[in-house]
Structure 1
Amino acid sequence: MPETRVTLQQALTAFRRLKQRTTEAIRSNSRMAWRCSGNTNEELVRNLERGGIFSSARVREAMLATDRGDFAPRSPYMDQPQGIGWNATISAPHMHAAALEYLKNHLTEGAYALDVGSGSGYLTVCMALMTGSTGKVVGIEHIPQLVELAKENTMKHHADLIDSGRILFVEGDGRKGYPMEQKYDAIHVGAAAETVPQPLIDQLAEGGRMLIPVGKESGNQVFLQVDKQDGNVTQKVIEHVIYVPLTSKAHQLGRYDL
C-alpha cells in the first residue's frame, strides 16, 4: 500500500505542475497579444521582433512581404488566433513568427516544405518566400472551401507563387502528408495531433525538421520540434500550447462554431 500511495502522490504532483505550466503558458500568450499587436502589418512584425519572438532578418522580410490583412478576416494585426470559418483558425502571429524562426535553417533556397492545415494560406506564403525561386511549398487542407480561400488570398499580392508552381495548395488529409518527388526539408503542422503521425515522419528528409503541436483536444498540448538526422528521429518540447485538433473533416465540421 505505501508504494501505491507514493505513486499516486507523484502522479498528482506531476499533474499539478503540468497544469501550472499550461496556465502560465496561457497567461504568457495573453500578455504577448497585448505587447506585440499593431495597427499595421509593419508595426506587428516590428513588435514581434522587439518582443524576441524572432531574430532572423529572413523571417522579418518574409513577414513584411506577406500582409496578414490578406489572410485574416478581422483585426489581422492583433496578436491572437481567430476563426477563419469551417471551425478552423489562423494561429496567432507570434506562433507563426516562432515557427518560421525554428524552421529558418530548413527554409532555404531550393528547399521543399509542407504546411499541414494551411488554412487561409498565410504561413504557406511566408514559407514559400523563404525557400526562394527554386523552392516548393505544399499547403494541404481537408476543407475544400479553405483550399480555395488560400488560393484567393495568395493571388491578391503573390500570384507569382502559384503561377510559377512555388506554392501548391491541395485538398487532402494532412495526417497522411503529401508525398512528392523528394522529401520535405521542413514540415509545419498547424493543428494538434494526439501523436506524431508516422507518414509525416516518413516524408521528412534527412536533416529535416518538423514542428507539430501534440496532445489531446481540450487537453494539455506541447509544441514539438522533430528532427531527423543520421536515420534517427529526436523530439524536443518547445513550449505548452493550445491548438484546435488535427482531425477528420467530419469531426472538424461537427465541432462548435468558432
Structure 2
Amino acid sequence: MNQPRRPGFPARLPSASPGSGTSFGTAKPVTGNPARVLPRVAPAPAGVGLDSSAVRERMVRRLADSGIGSAKVLAAMGAIERHRFVDSALVNQAYEDTSLPIGLGQTISKPSIVARMAELLLGAPVAQAEGLGRVLEIGTGCGYQAAVLGRIAKEVYTIERLRALHEKARDNLRPLRLTNVHLILGDGMLGYPKGAPYAAIISAAGGEKLPEQWCDQLAVGGRLVAPMAGPDGRQILLVVDKTAAGLKQTVLEAVNFVPLKSGVA
C-alpha cells in the first residue's frame, strides 16, 4: 500500500507577493497549505536585567531542584527567553513559576509544567532509541512551549485555533529563526494528519476525552502527553504510550489547563 506523502523537512511556503512586507506568506487552515517555517539565525546576545542569562540560570536551577533531570530540557529552558513571550506589563514575572495571561482567555504555562511535559516526551520508547523526532503540539498559544520543543525535537508542528494567537506566536518566534518549528492555523482536535506519524504529541489544553485523531496520528513507540478530565471532573496529566498491542495509559498528577475546544476563530 502506498504511504501518504508527508511534508518535506523543513516544509516550505511560496514567497509572499511583492510589497506584502513578509517572506513567510499567509497562514492557512489545516485543510489547505503546508505549515509555516521559521528560518534559523544565531540567538540574540545576553544583556542586562531580564535579558541576562543569569536570570534564566536561576530558573533552571529551580527546575533541576524540583526534579527535572533531563540535560536537554534544562538546556532548552535556559536558552529560550520566556519574557519575550509575555506582555510587557508582566515581564517582571516571566521567570516565576506561574502561568500568565496571554489574551483571549489563554495562558502561557508555568516553566515547571513546560519542563515536566517536555521531559515526559523524551521518555517515549522511540525517543529513547532514536532521539525525539517529529512532535505535534496542540495549542501554540504565544509560542513559548513550541520554542522549547524546537530545542529538543528534530521537528515540531504546532497548531493553534485562534488566529490572533497564531499571529502573536509567529511574531514571537520569528526572531529565534527556528527552521524546525512549523506554525499551523487550524483545529487542534483534528491533529495534523499531513505530518503524521508523530513520535510525540503534546497538548496545552485539557478536554473531556482524548481525540481519536491524536491516537491515530501517533507512531508506534510514540508518546502522547495531555491534560484530561479525570473521573471526578478535575484535570489530570495523562501519558499515553502507543505500542504494537495498543494504547497504554498512565495517570499522573493533577494539573490545571485551559479547556480544549474545536473549530477555528
User: What's the TM-score bracket when you normalise by the shorter of the two chains?
Assistant: 0.7 to 0.9
**CA displacement at 1:82 relative to structure 2:** 1.2
Runs of 4+ with deviation above 6 angstroms: none
Q: CA–CA distance in 1 between the matches of 2:170 and 2:60?
A: 23
* 1:147-192 C-alpha deviation (Å, 9 max, x unpaired): 1111111122x11x1xx3x111111111110112441101110111
Identity of aligned residues (%): 35
Q: What is aligned with 2:213? A: 199
Distance 2:245 2:157 in 1: 24
Normalised TM-score (structure 1) = 0.74
Match of 1:124 in 2: 146
Alignment TM-score, normalising by the size of structure 2: 0.72
Amino acid at match of 1:121: G
Gaps of 5+ in 2: 1-53
1:141 corresponds to 2:160: yes
- State the distance in 1 between where 2:105 and 2:182 align: 23
Alpha carbons 1:119, 1:150 under 8 Å: kept: yes
1:183 pairs, out of 193, 197, 213, with 197
Query: Is the Cα contact below 8 Å between 1:138 and 1:167 reproduced in 2?
Result: yes
Equivalent residues, number: 203
Aligned residue for 1:47?
62
Q: Secondary structure at the match of 1:40?
A: helix
Determine if the alignment matches structure 1 residue 246 to structure 2 residue 256. Answer: no
Structure 1 residues 219 and 62 mapped into 2: Cα distance closer, same or farther (>3 Å)? Answer: same
Matching residue of 1:32: none
* Structure 1 or 2: more helix by fraction: 1
String of CA shifts for 1:195-241, please: whole Å, max 9, x gaps: 0110000000010000011118x941111000001141011001111
Over residues 60-84 of structure 1, what are the superposed CA-to-partner deviations in whole Å (9 max), with x where a residue is unaligned? 1111111111212212111111110
Partners of 2:195 and 2:227 in 1: CA distance: 26
- Checking the alignment, whether the CA contact within 8 Å between 1:41 and 1:69 is kept in structure 2 is no
Question: How big is the alpha-carbon RMSD for the aligned residues of Structure 1 and Structure 2?
Answer: 2.0
Q: Choose 204-213 or 74-83, whichever is displaced more.
A: 74-83
Letter in 1 for 2:76: A
Structure 2 counterpart of 1:92, from 93, 110, 118: 110
Distance in 1 separating the partners of 2:81 and 2:122: 19
